[in-house]
Amino acid sequence: MTDRQEDKIRLLIVDDHAETRDNIRKILQFEPDIVVVGSARTGQEAIQQAIETQPDVILMDINMPDMDGIKATELILEEVSFAQIVILSIQSEADYMRKAMLAGARYFLAKPPSGDELITTIRTVSERAKDQRKKLSAPAAEVPAQKGDGRQRPMGKLLAVYSPKGGVGCTTLATNMAIGLNSDETPTVLVDGNLQFGDVSVFLNLQVKNSLVDLATRTEELEEDIASEVLMRHDSGLYVLAAPPRPEMADEVQASQVRLVLRFLRQHFAYVVVDNSSTMDDITLAVLDLADVLLAIATTDIPSIKDARLLFDLLSVLEFPKENILFVLNKTDRRSGITAEAVAENLKQAVEGEIPLDDRTVATSVNRGEPLLLGDRSRPIAKHLLDLLATVKQRLMAEELHDESVGETERLKVFGR
């Protein structure tokens, strides 16, 4: 493997039993690429040592005298965000695993793990730590300057992606549309408007350092340099404004602040794509109010179609311009028996795009954090996404032409009011 000290996988062992710590050391002693940089007996010791030793991987016990491994995981990740935490536990209940994963743990191993299992897991998760270390040391993303060739950049267009039902594919489509819209000529930012449980950063395999909260709470001083610190840059060149790392931080953000942030971004980017949570709260309403095009998504099942109907009814009451809605069906499947024509007829709303169900391709893309449009574009699902991208572009450009013709720089409106 490797002889260079700096290439080795730095491992921290956290367990209150000396015997467990020793056993793990013994299992790993002949692995030339793994170096144990510390071992801790309590949660507090673990936090301290993680800060001091900056490990790539932490093996974390659940039951410790001062705090449980889930709390320790959460606290460590606040300090050493690239560390990959593998929980070792005799408790394997789903609820426990879910809590650990929510706290940011990367993997779960039953105690006692076999030698092979332990070594393979450490090697696999350490790749991600190395990757994230590299990203953290990369220079901050520079926000595109407001003025190009001496002229003011025309106000950027905002694409909001929304569904009243969760899990229908908003984040999948928002991510791919943003990747497709971004270019040197049309710099694009993807904003995670799902402040509590946003997962745009996961879909793009980005490590969150700063988030929308950092811009929203500084709206009086919004300048290019502050935005440059907060925005992240994906390898593709796409700019990303992530959701905060913890759900409770969303409480700090008010809808009026989100509005100001989005207005600021529209001055700097050609396209602002906002992924939203399915909750119709004041933040979602603020985003919809600023949207030039609303990409509304549903799947071909009765509950989703019912919710889409409720959405269109609500939008109509709010006098949201019908021509700004772009309605798309995701996960379409011939076997479902519900056709796009039937949905359009039933909802009195044209279906302008269809993305087929492709569990394997989409799951692999999401789990790897590699958007479909950055992979093989000849795959059927990518072709559908490209068709949708063309439609989205056309609609956004039509909005631009419309604005130019009426000389509008910014619509100031609260829906129909």
Ligand X SMILES: Nc1ncnc2c1ncn2[C@@H]1O[C@H](COP(=O)(O)OP(=O)(O)OP(=O)(O)O)[C@@H](O)[C@H]1O
Task: Give every strand in the sheet of 232-233, ordered side by side.
Answer: 232-233, 239-241, 188-192, 271-275, 157-162, 293-299, 325-332, 353-356
Please say which residue, 105 or 195, places its beta carbon nearer to Mg ion.
195
Residue number of the CB atom closest to Mg ion: 171
| Residue nearer to ligand X on the CB measure, 289 or 307 | 307
Tokens 């609820």 locate to 95
- Chosen from Mg ion, ligand X, none, partner binding at 358 (C-beta under 5 to 8 Å by type): ligand X
CA nearest neighbour of 212 among 183, 174, 251: 251
Distance set, CA 323 to CA 11, 173, 191, 295, 396 (Å): 56, 20, 23, 11, 12
* Residue of closest CB approach to ligand X: 166
362 binds, among Mg ion, ligand X, none (CB under 5 to 8 A by kind): ligand X
Angle at which helix 115-137 crosses helix 18-28, to 10 degrees, equals 80
Which residues are paired to 298 by β-bridges?
329
- Using CB under 6 A, list all residues that contact ligand X: 163, 166-172, 194, 278, 330-331, 355, 357-359, 362-363, 366
CB of 161 to ligand X, least distance (A): 8
Contacts of Mg ion in 167-206 (CB under 5 A)? 170-171
How far apart, in Å, do the first and last CA atoms of the chain sit?
66
Pick 274 or 355: Cβ nearer ligand X: 355
Q: Cβ closer to ligand X: 167 or 416?
A: 167
Of the pair 6, 359, the CB lying nearest ligand X is at 359
Residue 2 has phi, psi (to 5 degrees) of -130, 145
- Closer of 257 and 365 to ligand X (Cβ): 365
* Closest-CA residue to 49 (of 15, 3, 99): 15
282 within 8 A of 200, measured Cβ to Cβ: no
C-beta of 392: minimal distance to ligand X in Å?
16
Task: Rank residues 155 and 355 by Cβ distance to ligand X and give the closer one.
Answer: 355
Nearest approach, Cβ of residue 205 and ligand X (Å)? 14
Closer residue to Mg ion, CB minimum distance, 101 or 260: 101
Nearest approach in angstroms of CB 198 to ligand X is 8
**Binding window for Mg ion (CB under 5 A); candidates: 54-62, 165-173, 352-360, 375-383:** 165-173
237 binds, among ligand X, Mg ion, none (CB under 5 to 8 A by kind): none
Q: Pick one of ligand X, Mg ion, none as the site partner of residue 167 (Cβ within 5 to 8 A by kind).
A: ligand X
- Shortest spacing between CB 197 and ligand X, in angstroms: 7
**Rounded Cα–Cα distance for residues 260 and 274 (Å):** 14
CA 32 to chain centre: 35
CB of 186 to ligand X, least distance (A): 23
206 binds, among Mg ion, ligand X, none (CB under 5 to 8 A by kind): none
CB closer to ligand X, 49 vs 330: 330
Query: What is d(CA 224, CA 64) in angstroms, rounded to the nearest whole number?
Result: 46
What are the tokens at 268?
């700097």
Question: By CB under 5 A, is residue 284 in contact with Mg ion?
Answer: no
Q: How many residues bind Mg ion (CB under 5 A)?
A: 2
Closest CA to 330 of 159, 158, 160, 163: 163
What are the percentages of helix, strand and coil residues in the chain, rounded to 5? 50, 15, 35
Strands (E) across 130-201 are located at 147-148, 151-152, 157-162, 188-192
Least distance from C-beta 171 to Mg ion, angstroms? 3
188 touches, from ligand X, Mg ion, none (C-beta below 5 to 8 Å by class): none
366 binds, among Mg ion, ligand X, none (CB under 5 to 8 A by kind): ligand X
CB of 300 vs ligand X, minimal distance in Å = 11
Per DSSP, the three-state class of 79 is: helix
Neighbouring CB atoms inside 10 A of 107's CB total 18
- Which region among 98-106, 164-172, 283-291, 369-377 touches Mg ion (by CB under 5 A)? 164-172
- How far is the C-alpha of 301 from the C-alpha of 332, rounded, in Å? 9
Least distance in Å: CB of 273 to ligand X? 13
Residues that bind Mg ion (CB under 5 A): 170-171
